[in-house]
A and B are shown apart, each in its own frame.
Chain A
Amino acid sequence: MDAFFTKLATLGGPLLLGAGTTVAITISALVVAVVLGLAFALIRLLGIRPLNWLISAYVEAFRNTPVLAQVFIIYFSLPYLGVNINPFPAAVIGLGLNGGAMLTEVFRAGLNAIHFGQREAALSVGMTPWMSLRYIILPQTWRITLPPLGNYAIALLKDTAVVSAIAAPEIMFWARNLVTSTFETTFVYILAALLYFCLSFPLARLVDGFERRQRAWQ
């Protein structure tokens, strides 16, 4: 039993360190994705054709290719263009761009769900377009998009595992390193899987809560 705990302590430390990086990558990429997604969804509302085509092309390209390919293109191809990039920012940019495409669709659905009468009413009581967006449209959109946004965050957390392929020092990366140095294959990989579960399970319960609350509103 003591041997088990010593093993847990020596192997758990690096993995916990990796978990910190996993969380940092998740949060950074989530911020990038939300900013991109919201910006593109709003630009789409302007109805400028060429811009809409560009945004559609971006969304389709990133939604129909594996995130691993996107991360590889960014990490291995940018140096070829003379830009050197570290694994961490490459991971954040890759996952963030991928998420931006997902969330453009999520925010678009959220914005479309709001009746245009809401905006007309806001403008007719004398709000500026910006005010109607800020105080009328976005708060309602937010409520609708929160559950899919939460689901995306969970998917993102799990997708961070693939950036171990470009040596970003997150959980899977540390797990692989520990395996090569200690040969505790089974133990380390089970521990890594458990760690992911401990991170994603509370998040999943939170999203369940959002969904239940939303159903209560309807």
Chain B
Amino acid sequence: MIEDFKGFLAVYSDNWHDWGPQIYEAIWVTIQLTIASFALALVLGLLLALGKLSRIRALRAFCTAYIEVARGIPALAILFLLYFGLVPLGIVFDAFTAGAIGLGMSAAGYIAEVFRAGIQAIHKGQREAALAVGMTPMMTFRYIILPQALRIILPPMLNMVIILLKDTSICSLISTDELMLRSKDLAMMSFLPMHLFLLAGAIYFCLSWPLSLITRKVETMMQRGRRQTFGT
């Protein structure tokens, strides 16, 4: 049993000179993909949330529809549509761009709902009171609205980063050269699928677990600072 395990580990040390540099490179692509898609989702999500809360009916309808559709379709279907489905129409993305845009578009639906919940949770009396004591609208946003909204928004936002990090793995199916695809390629070449997929899983875990711990910490911190107020 112990010998088996030693043999199992020896495979890694024997192949590391070959696998190591490729895996490091792929981890970097995964991180870049996570950051790019999250940045896109943040911007798009905020615009969608504001649109959904706007007074213009057409804009509201469009944003609501977008959010529903983005949340109802698997990210993979969006990726395939972007990467393969638009080619006949003459729109060609490289695999990384398609992956970042697809994941970002998909996550934007969730992030919009997070922003909306954060904005709506703040009683409008808060803003009125701040303006009444002589704060400028800018100060009101900076000192009254934002700190309270952040408390509601931050934990689900961090969760979204973790979800995106894990979801970048499906970009391997549209041949984005990230961790999952590289592991699969190496697995096919070396005929060692178990070693490589376990390695990939372990790497994702090492990236995601610290984020989970931080998220949990932030969640309890936000909970502690929270005081019951009337009317909200």
The chain A residues found within 8 Å of chain B, CB to CB, are 60-61, 63-70, 72-73, 76-77, 80-81, 154, 158-162, 164-165, 172, 175-176, 179, 185-186, 188-190, 192-193, 196-197, 200-201, 204
Contacts and interface: CB of A to CB of B under 8 A. Distances in A.
Nearest to A192: B77
A57 to B, nearest CB: 11
A105 B209 CA distance: 16
Given A68-B169, A73-B194, A186 B86 contact: yes
18 contacts: A60-B205, A64-B209, A66-B180, A69-B180, A69-B201, A69-B204, A72-B184, A77-B194, A154-B71, A158-B75, A162-B76, A162-B173, A165-B173, A185-B84, A193-B78, A193-B81, A200-B71, A200-B73
Of A68, A189, A193, chain B has the most CB atoms within 10 Å of the CB of: A68
Contacts of A161: 74-77, 170
B156 interface: no
Contacts of B193: 72, 76-77, 80
B88 interface: yes
A38 to B, nearest CB: 23
Contacts of B89: 186
A60 B77 CA distance: 28
B72 A65 contact: no
B85 A67 contact: no
Contacts of B88: 185-186
Contact of A77 (B85, B172, B197): B197
Interface residues of B, number: 40
Nearest to A72: B197
Interface in B55-83: 68-69, 71-78, 80-81
A86 to B, nearest CB: 16
B198 interface: yes
B42 to A, nearest CB: 21
Contacts of B76: 161-162, 164, 172
A164 B174 CA distance: 12
A196 to B, nearest CB: 5
Contact of B209 (A60, A68, A154, A192): A60
Given A60-B209, A162-B76, A69 B200 contact: yes
B72 A201 contact: yes
A204 B84 contact: no
A64 B80 contact: no
A153 B168 CA distance: 21
Given A64-B205, A77-B197, A185-B84, A193 B212 contact: no
Contacts of B75: 158, 161
Given A61-B205, A69-B169, A76 B73 contact: no
A201 B200 contact: no
Contacts of A67: 166
A143 B89 CA distance: 49
Interface string B104-129: 00000000000000000000000000
Nearest to B210: A64
A165 B187 CA distance: 15
A65 B73 contact: no
